[in-house]
Structure 1
Amino acid sequence: MTTQPGWHPDPVPAQPGQPPQLRYWDGARWTEHVAPAQAPAAGAYYGAQPAYGGAGGGKATTTPDGVPLAGWWQRVGAYLIDGLLLGVISAVLYIPFYGRVVDAYRDYFDDLERAADSGGPQPSPFQLQSDLAGTLALMGLIGLVVGFVWTVGWLRWKQATPGKLALGLRVRLRDQPGPLPWRAILLRWLTQAGVAALSFVPLVGSVIGLYTLLDVLWPLWDDQRQALHDKAARTNVVRVR
């Protein structure tokens, strides 16, 4: 007989003097998530998930199976750690392009100085932008690819980026524990970093900027503490320690 996913008596014996507890079975294996055992009401069964945060219309503090949700500041902290690490990696990969950027600016300021000395027309800043457009676009593409490999790779491998790992956070499907499917991972990236990459597109940049800001702030008032990219992928960021 197959055991249904849910909360069941913990197969690990309790320590002396400790109350018994329940452990969550995901249908294939025992997870690391435990909860205090409660006497079941008449007709109840252990497989039923106990009622945790979110009942009664308030904000949820756990997933439906009782795993604590990450706080907003924890998520911001993890984002900053990842941003710092990605910045270092990208800076190293950009080294071959720094010379082109420096040369373009040097030529531009030399032209400005010559124009001022001779009284001739000043060079257009738009020409500088045109000269750098290809280099900056290539650098942006490299940064986007690095971010994609970083985020997608870590989420598939560890269910968390290094920033989240450092703060004891993991990403999981809201309604199901276990490794993230590819679909959820790609949707999270597309609706977060993928959308943010469009901020450089003329005319839509301001709209994208507003979306990015709302995405960051959304967990502050969302009943399930989900960002917009969480909602698209049906995920939650949870605390595991």
Structure 2
Amino acid sequence: MSRIYPYAGFWRRAVALLVDSLIIGIISSILYITVLGTQVFKLIVQNPQTSDPKNILSIMGSMILFQILAFIFFWLYFALQESSKSQATLGKRVMGLKVVGADGGRISFGRATGRTLGKLVSNMTLYFGYYMAGFTKKRQALHDLMADTFVVQHAFQTGDEKPALNFSTGGLIASILAAILPVVFIALMMLVGIVAAFKETENINVDNMNSILVRSKAVSAQANLFLLAIDEDKEVPSSDENGISYSKTVNGYQAVFSDDAGNRFVLREKKGEYDACCAEGNCELIQIDPCK
């Protein structure tokens, strides 16, 4: 009798899981819209100042209900189908696979439930529990080992020879890479985000510092212009320690200074009016009214 190797390989199982995940995702989305969609929409369109706090509690309750219903659907989707006559979910049927017990036969609903709950443990291992199907001798994932089940080709029948496969070094490497690459990708994305955030913070800090220095110069210039206007006999300084230059004009006095970026600002004080106005530069930046 020819030797039969019925155990499903990693990639066929991966495609089957992808199909099942798409189906579960679509149903879960419909369930989410049904349970939460209307309430979330109402909360969005309401004025936050007049909205009833009870609405928030209602949404939290609905979210809990959604999580419970989603878990029940996840459990029954796998447990009912894998313990049925087909012994397979829709994804496994597409890939020509089915789930069997240690005796090669159909598993009970209780064992299928245990296998489904074991998937939660596989999820907690950053999905490495799934990748184990790529290198274990009987191509078992972690939840298969926990439930003592196997995923085999659909043509397999009870009594067919079920020899253990050789340990797959290539499968181990592929599984490790499949487990590591998403983590590496996420880590790189986080690193890029952190670097971008630091650069943005640096730019913001530089801009804030420049803004503070410019406003400080404007306040100093405004004060000196007031003093010059009050005491006309006072000598007009050509410049001060802040790099502000002063001059006397026909209508009063003028102060000129620049920021670190080289932008020029001019403040003018008219004779007989003890108030300075912004004649040139970003008046909004130095918080002084523009001259009329």
Identify the TM-score tier after normalising by the shorter chain: 0.5 to 0.7
The equivalent position to 1:137 in structure 2, one of 64, 78, 81, is 64
- State the identity as a percent: 26
**Matching of residues 73-92 of structure 1 within 5 Å:** 73-92=11-30
Contact 1:104 1:131 in 2 (8 A): no
1:78 is displaced (CA, Å) by: 0.8
Q: Which has the higher contact order (CA 8 A, sep 6+)?
A: 1
1:71 equivalenced with 2:9 (yes/no): yes
> What SS does the corresponding residue of 2:83 show, helix, strand or coil?
helix
Cα 1:210–1:128 shift into 2, 3 Å: farther
Is the 2:12–2:95 Cα contact (8 Å) retained in structure 1?
Answer: yes
Q: Check if 1:159 corresponds to 2:97.
A: no
2:136 aligned to which of 208, 222, 228? 222
Q: 1:210 to 1:93 in 2, by over 3 A?
A: closer
Larger deviation, residues 155-164 vs 214-223: 214-223
TM-score by length of 1: 0.54
**Match for residue 235 of structure 1 among 142, 149, 153:** 149
* Backbone CA RMSD of aligned residues: 2.9
Check whether the contact 1:104–1:132 (CA below 8 A) recurs between aligned residues: no
Per-residue deviation, 1:220: 2.3
Aligned length: 151
| Counterparts of 1:165 and 1:146, CA distance in 2 | 19
1:239 corresponds to which letter in structure 2? Q
Spell out structure 1 runs of 4+ moving beyond 4 A: 127-131
Alignment CA distance shift 1:183-1:67 (3 Å): farther
Q: Select the residue among 88, 103, 122 that pairs with 1:176.
A: 103
* SS of 2:8 mapped into structure 1: coil
Find the residue that maps to 1:170 and give its secondary structure. Answer: strand
In the aligned structure 1, how far is the partner of 2:143 from the partner of 2:20?
Answer: 17
| 1:191 shift after superposition | 1.1
2:76 maps to which residue?
149
Q: Tell me whether 84-93 or 163-172 shows the greater mean CA deviation.
A: 84-93
Counterpart in 2 of 1:200? none
